[in-house]
């Protein structure tokens, strides 16, 4: 049985912390609109505290042996699988999707940590022969603190998709989950700490987009941003990133495109197109 706590706080520096504003918002069960829990309404000060902790944790995580970073991510994948039912039920209560889809999302989240855990020690640069005895070489380096603004339609899946590659490459992360579905990201933060991820490497600040999300976008020490959601909000995120000249990855407004070639099995294409467009109550872009 999944037990939902009465209140959830930001997870910063490897532990739950009191939030600056003292304000709360409710996350609701979509099935009957009943309150599930009160969640801390993160402020600009809360985001700043999380970024500061992530910045402090960055040098040691960056300098950790890539193979060891990978081992921690693989441990997270294993722990997620061992608690798959618990996370799936939490996701269903907070998000409203059927348990079958929530279980699939938890497995996909585990696969992200598993895949990038295996990739962590295989991120190489290039050695380029020049004229004579000269060689030019390149090396890949992490950005530093990365900010991730996560949508509500597949919360744990999308949190893992952004955080796992960032952590594998030696970055630290601050996640702002959707205010509609913040619980699985907050529980994931506890799990990754239990798996040996150093304090401050993975932080979660719940809150509203126009408050905590906007603060994350404009924070001067966040060096890379990711956002999945609407075109309107994506435009604001891109504008904020452009003002600070930091790279941003956006996934906006796509809706299950398909390319059907003349020699395709049209019945199979129609069936798969229908499933791809309507799975997850249509809130999907696969």
Catalytic residue annotation: 251, 285
Q: What value, to the nearest 5°, has the Cα angle with vertex 64 and ends 192 and 79?
A: 20
Both structure tokens of 240: 């904020």
Q: Residue 273 corresponds to which tokens in the numbers above?
A: 């197109």
**Alpha-carbon distance 169 to 141, whole Å?**
8
CA distance 284 to 132: 54
Burial class (CB in 10 A: 0-12, 13-18, 19+), 160: buried
CA atoms within 13 A on the CB side of 4: 21
Closest CA to 183 of 89, 101, 278: 89
Exposed/middle/buried for 257, CB within 10 Å: 0-12, 13-18, 19+? exposed
């Amino acid at each position: 049985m999944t037990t939902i706590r009465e209140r959830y706080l930001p997870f910063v520096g490897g532990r739950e912390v009191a939030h600056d504003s003292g304000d709360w918002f409710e996350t609701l069960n979509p099935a009957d609109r009943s309150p599930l829990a009160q969640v801390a309404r993160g402020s600009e000060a809360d985001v700043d505290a999380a970024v500061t902790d992530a910045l402090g944790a960055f040098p040691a995580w960056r300098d950790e042996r890539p193979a060891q970073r990978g081992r921690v991510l693989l441990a997270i994948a294993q722990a997620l699988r061992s608690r798959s039912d618990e996370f799936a039920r939490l996701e269903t209560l907070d998000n409203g999707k059927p348990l079958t889809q929530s279980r699939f999302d938890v497995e996909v989240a585990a696969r992200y940590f598993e895949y990038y855990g295996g990739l962590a020690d295989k991120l190489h640069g290039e050695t380029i022969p020049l004229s004579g005895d000269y060689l030019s070489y390149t090396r890949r380096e992490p950005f530093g603190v990365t900010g991730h603004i996560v949508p509500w339609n597949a919360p744990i899946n999308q949190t893992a998709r952004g955080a796992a590659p960032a952590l594998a490459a030696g970055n630290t992360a601050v996640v702002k989950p959707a205010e509609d579905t913040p619980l699985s990201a907050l529980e994931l933060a506890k799990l990754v700490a239990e798996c040996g991820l150093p304090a401050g490497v993975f932080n979660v600040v719940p809150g509203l987009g126009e408050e905590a999300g906007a603060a994350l976008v404009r924070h001067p020490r966040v060096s890379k941003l990711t956002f999945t959601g609407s075109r309107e909000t994506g435009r604001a995120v891109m504008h904020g990133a452009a003002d600070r000249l930091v790279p941003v990855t956006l996934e906006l407004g796509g809706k299950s495109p398909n390319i059907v070639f003349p020699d395709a099995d049209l019945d199979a294409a129609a069936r798969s197109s229908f499933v791809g467009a309507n799975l997850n109550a249509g809130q999907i872009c696969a």
